[in-house]
Chain A
Amino acid sequence: MKELKVTAIENGSVIDHIPTDNTFNVIGILKLDRHDDTILIATNLPSKKLGKKGIVKVSGRQLTKDEANKIALVAPDATINIIKDFEIVEKLKASLPKQLVNVSKCFNPNCITNRDSVVPKLCVESARPLRLRCEYCERSMTQKDIQLV
Chain B
Amino acid sequence: MKGFKGRDIISISDFSKQEILHVLDTAKNFENYRNPSLLKDKMLATLFFEPSTRTRMSFEAAMHFLGGRVIGFSDARLTSISKGESLWDSIRIVEGYSDVIVMRHPFEGSARLAAEAANIPIINGGDGANQHPTQTFLDLFTIYKSKGTIDKLKVGFLGDLKYGRTVHSLARALSLFGAEMYFISPAELRMPSDDIEHLKKEGIVFHEVEDLIGTCPKLDVLYTTRIQKERFPDAADYEKVKGVYRVDNSMLKHVKPELKILHPLPRVDELSPEIDNSPHAVYFEQAANGVPVRAALLALVLGVAE
Residues of B within 8 Å of A134, CB to CB, are 109
The segment from A45-53, A89-97, A137-145 that touches chain B is A137-145
Q: Is B108 an interface residue (CB 8 A)?
A: yes
Residue of A nearest to B87 (CB): A116
Of B11, B13, B108, which is within 8 A of A112 by CB?
A: B108
Chain B residue, CB-CB nearest to A138: B130
A76 to B128, CA, bound (A): 34
B46 at the interface (CB under 8 A from A): no
Q: Is the interface of A mostly helix, strand, loop or mixed?
A: loop
Which residue from chain B places its CB closest to the CB of A134 in the assembled complex?
Answer: B109
Give the number of residues in B that approach A within 8 Å (Cβ atoms): 19
Measured between beta carbons, the chain B residues less than 8 angstroms from A110 are: 106-108, 128-129
Chain B residues, Cβ within 8 Å of A62: none
Interface centre among A110, A112, A137, A140 (most CB of B within 10 A): A112
Point out the residue from B88, B113, B129, B194 that lies within 8 Å of A136, measured CB to CB.
Answer: B113
Judge if B134 is at the interface, Cβ distance under 8 Å.
no
What is the total number of residues of chain A having a CB less than 8 Å from a CB of chain B?
17
- If A137-B128, A137-B130, A140-B194 touch, whether A112 touches B109 (CB-CB below 8 Å) is yes
Q: What is the number of contacts between chain A and chain B, taking CB atoms within 8 Å?
A: 52
In the complex, which residues 124-155 of chain B have their Cβ closer than 8 Å to any Cβ of chain A? 127-131
Question: Which residues of A lie under 8 Å from residue B112 when comparing CB positions?
Answer: 112, 135-136
Q: Is A118's beta carbon under 8 Å from chain B? A: yes
B230 → A minimal CB distance (Å): 15
Taking the nearest CB of chain B, how far is it from the CB of A119, in angstroms? Answer: 10
- Indicate whether B82 reaches chain A with its CB closer than 8 angstroms: no
B80–chain A nearest beta-carbon distance, Å? 14
Given contacts A136-B110, A138-B11, A138-B108, 19 further A-B contacts (CB under 8 A): A110-B128, A110-B129, A111-B107, A112-B127, A115-B107, A116-B88, A116-B113, A117-B86, A135-B112, A136-B108, A136-B112, A137-B107, A137-B109, A137-B127, A137-B128, A137-B130, A138-B109, A139-B108, A140-B194
30 A-B pairs with C-beta separation under 8 A: A110-B107, A110-B128, A110-B129, A111-B107, A111-B108, A111-B109, A112-B87, A112-B107, A112-B108, A112-B109, A112-B110, A112-B113, A115-B107, A116-B86, A116-B87, A117-B86, A118-B88, A118-B113, A134-B109, A135-B109, A136-B108, A136-B110, A136-B113, A137-B107, A137-B130, A138-B11, A138-B109, A139-B108, A139-B194, A140-B194
